[in-house]
A and B are shown apart, each in its own frame.
Chain A
Amino acid sequence: MHITRGFTGRPRVDDPGLPPGQYDAGDDWPVLSAEVTPELAPADWTFRVDGLVAEPRTWDWEEAHRLPASAYEGAIHCVTSWSKFGVRFAGVSLDAFLDAVRPHGSATHAVAYSHTGYTANLPLADLTGGRAWIAWEYDGRPLAPEHGGPARLLVPHLYFWKSAKWIAGLRILDHDEPGFWERNGYHGRGNPWEEQRYSGD
């Protein structure tokens, strides 16, 4: 570590909710997608889970909304070093979808993919146990297109590039397969508390 001459940083409180290397973005919610925001209406949105499952299935907007509602309130963390506290998302727990398709015992990972073709890989263990959602509301309102609306994946305990916007499906696998950013130098898992930013961290 090298002390930077004259650098004091902004006034800080020791916030146990802030992972190392992150700062509180306050009211800001930067948009960091690499692709053109798609014009995707709820009526055209679908979500499919297939791969190593007993019953592959596709839900449309109405069908997905008939599953039990589930909300997340807490923090999100972006690899570019901002964190945002007190966010409120509503949607359905991913467990509800996975329970319906019944992954095989050999299943270990998933590739999440978007209606744009964006991909992100995740260990199945990060998607189950009430830690991941399909979210379509933010702060009581429909999720904005630039933030992934009509629906996005939400995996708030990992860096936010894993929470694929405009989610289209999950392919369940028995091995790990790097997604879009992971093939562009980012870490395979992306745990903010261990600062897993880049490949090799």
Chain B
Amino acid sequence: MTETFVPPTRFAVPGRIAVSEQAASEWQTATLTGIRRETPRVTTFRLAVPGWPGHVPGQHLMVRLTAEDGYTAQRHYSIASAPDDSGQVELTLDHVEGGEVSGWFHTVARPGDRVEVRGPVSGFFAWPGDRPALLIGAGSGVVPLMSMIRHHRARNLTVPLRLVVSARSPEELVYARELGTETTPVFTRSAPEGVAVGRMAAAHVAPLLAEQPSGGWEAYVCGSNSFAEHASRLLVTAGQPVDRIRIERFG
């Protein structure tokens, strides 16, 4: 048997991104070069990574912290920055209550500190900028989607790109100052005057699916599992094919 096995079902996953195996398997030391507050609970950390091989928007970085007794903790984080040749990458982290690694970043880390990183890893959620992308996120789920938007702007891409993003309030909308006309914000607790408050609904998604770009949308959904379940159902109900929805959930 030499033919490639194809399962008898859908979920075709078009255009997989090849991942550099060497980069994924080696830990290297990164230096924290900048810290930028985004919202009261969310902060961006900029890291200089010598020999960073570059990434595709939507890929992850693995971070490892080591205590004096040798104990280590490692976590996957989405890369927030667009690919560029600066040798630096940015991570945007929620301050998780009791978070072991995010807690260190939010309460201890300062420029000059060094951490170990490995990556970029994982290619499934990546978007190289080659096809229309409909991005749906909530909370810090907007992080990998922002990498895509930044990439789109930095390269002056003309392929259609839209973002529907849910936040509790305008104050908690991550990257609020950077979001532009491609973005429809949805506020679940409080909103500016004249803007409705409520959960992301068919009314936010259906109009975008009614105006399909040539070739259709590739949908990228990122957020908590409950949000991902809700948003992916909205997409399917509005007619988006299930095999053109990529989901990144965080528990």
CB within 8 Å of B: which residues of A? 1-10, 12, 21, 23, 28-38, 51-52, 80-82, 111, 113-119, 146, 168-169, 171, 173-175, 177, 180-181, 183-186, 198-201
Asked if A117 and B243 sit within 8 Å, CB to CB, the answer is yes
Asked if A30 and B229 sit within 8 Å, CB to CB, the answer is no
Question: How many angstroms between the C-alpha atoms of A169 and B7 in the bound complex?
Answer: 9
Asked if A7 and B67 sit within 8 Å, CB to CB, the answer is yes
Cβ of B8: which chain A residues have Cβ within 8 Å of it?
113, 168
- If over half of B's interface residues share one DSSP class (helix, strand or loop), that class is named, otherwise mixed; here it is mixed
Cβ of B12: which chain A residues have Cβ within 8 Å of it?
117
Cβ of A201: which chain B residues have Cβ within 8 Å of it?
25
Q: Tell me the count of chain B residues lying within 8 A, CB to CB, of chain A.
A: 60
Q: How far in angstroms is the closest Cβ of chain A from B114? A: 6
Question: How many angstroms between the C-alpha atoms of A51 and B3 in the bound complex?
Answer: 12
Question: How many angstroms between the C-alpha atoms of A81 and B68 in the bound complex?
Answer: 20
CB within 8 Å of A: which residues of B? 1, 4-5, 7-13, 16-17, 19, 21-22, 24-25, 29, 65-68, 70-76, 98, 100, 104, 108-109, 113-116, 118, 121-125, 225, 228-229, 232-233, 235-236, 242-243, 245-251
A177 contacts which of B5, B71, B123 (Cβ < 8 Å)? Answer: B5
Asked if B7 and A117 sit within 8 Å, CB to CB, the answer is yes
Cβ of B76: which chain A residues have Cβ within 8 Å of it?
80-81
Asked if B66 and A185 sit within 8 Å, CB to CB, the answer is no
Asked if B116 and A2 sit within 8 Å, CB to CB, the answer is yes
